[in-house]
Copies of this chain bind each other. A is one copy, B any other.
Amino acid sequence: MKRRDLLRGTGLAAVAAGLAACGAREGGSAGTASDVRLSWKMVTSWPANLPGLGTGAALLGEMITRASGGRLRVRVYGAGELVPAFEVFDAVSRGTAEMGHTASYYWKGKAAAAPFFCAIPFGFNAQEMNGWLYEGGGLALWRELYAQFGLVPFPAGNTGVQMAGWFNRELRSLADLRGLKMRIPGLGGEVMAKVGATPVNLPGAEIFTALQSGAIDACEWVGPYNDLAFGLHRVAKFYYYPGWQEPGPTLECMVNKTAFEALPDDLKHIVETCCRAVNDAMLAEYTARNQQALDQLVREHNVQLRRLPDDVIAALRRASEETLEAMAAADPFVRRVYDSQRAFRAQAQAWHAISEEAYYAARR
């Protein structure tokens, strides 16, 4: 039987060699990549396939699945399908889902600094936000903040400058904001409270009913492309700009830290690269679709398009500075984030004054 054992041995050795070889061919930094075959859940704060936000999340899942050759398959769930819109943070932190697509300004109850990584009133537009996050130290601060929750955040989309929102009556001056019940989340809500309004936070899907029932008098959602999809023009006629509260909100992809760190290097890079590609893709979609939707709102639905009165803009800007300063004074991490943003904003604002702004003026 010796010879047979020897031969069988040869056979098994060859099998081992074969398997080793395919690991090697797969190669690179991820020696174990060929053994990986994962299915991940992505929970989101958006209705499934909502234009822009929902389709952006869907695109991210598709990109990761394709770029990984199916080794990391991502299934995307709309708000409420697996967990409610505002439970995405806990679900991914716990590991109920490996990843989520949402916005960090929903999590100010978890960490006071969280909203600063999404949108800052009178802060960065999309281009400036990306500059700060990737080249100005913003992403490092975000990673540091989320690490304590077992989360790894990635910028994964931007809507560009939003609209100031929908109001069921005309705003003639600052006085008209007093006592106004408005759906406005994040830091914008804090600022609205400071000028006398009553901010309310609701998931997108609940805005229409709240405005229709009179539970709220006004709301901000995103911009024409998304607001038309929600039919907000059917429950409010006055549509105000510009979106001082969200001049360039970053959407976030959050990944459970344990799940992320268990990935081979190539899949880590694929997740990170796909998030960055979606960060580019979503802004392009909003840039292309907003005006088409706005035309429809104004021409077909007789929406009244208005610029916020000057005294309202001035009061909101003042209240924004006071609100952000007070938050920074109350929380050392907010202080670090806010100081980092102010330093970068001074620079970006000076550059954009002679580049983007001067160009818009020259083109007119």
Q: Which residues of A contact B (CB under 8 A)?
A: 3-4, 7-8, 10-12, 14-19, 21-23, 25-30, 33-37, 63, 65-71, 122, 125-128, 130-136, 160-163, 223-224, 241-244, 247, 264-266, 269-270, 273-274, 276-277, 279-281, 283-285, 287-292, 294, 305, 307-308, 313, 317, 344, 347-352, 354-360, 362-363
Contacts and interface: CB of A to CB of B under 8 A. Distances in A.
Given A135-B285, A280-B280, 15 more contacts: A22-B23, A27-B71, A66-B266, A67-B67, A67-B269, A69-B264, A127-B127, A134-B288, A242-B355, A247-B363, A277-B280, A288-B347, A294-B350, A317-B362, A317-B363
Given A11-B11, A66-B269, A280-B279, A247 B288 contact: no
26 contacts: A4-B7, A8-B11, A10-B11, A11-B11, A18-B18, A25-B34, A26-B34, A27-B70, A28-B70, A29-B69, A34-B34, A63-B273, A66-B269, A67-B67, A125-B356, A127-B160, A132-B288, A135-B285, A135-B287, A135-B288, A161-B358, A161-B359, A280-B280, A288-B347, A294-B350, A305-B354
Contacts of A292: 347
Given A354-B242, A362-B317, A71 B26 contact: yes
Contact of A18 (B19, B68, B70, B284): B19
Contacts of A285: 131, 134-135
B273 A277 contact: yes
Given A15-B14, A356-B356, A283 B125 contact: no
Nearest to A294: B351
Contacts of A356: 125, 160-161, 356, 360
> Which of A163, A291, A354 counts the most chain B CB atoms within 10 A?
A354
A4 to B, nearest CB: 6
Residue among A30, A63, A358 with most chain B CB within 10 A: A358
Contacts of A264: 69
Contacts of A65: 28
A35 B27 contact: no
A360 B355 contact: no
A359 B247 contact: yes
A288 B127 contact: no
A289 B130 CA distance: 12
A35 B224 CA distance: 48
A136 B292 CA distance: 12
A34, A66, A351, A355 pick with most chain B CB within 10 angstroms: A355
Nearest to A33: B69
A38 to B, nearest CB: 11
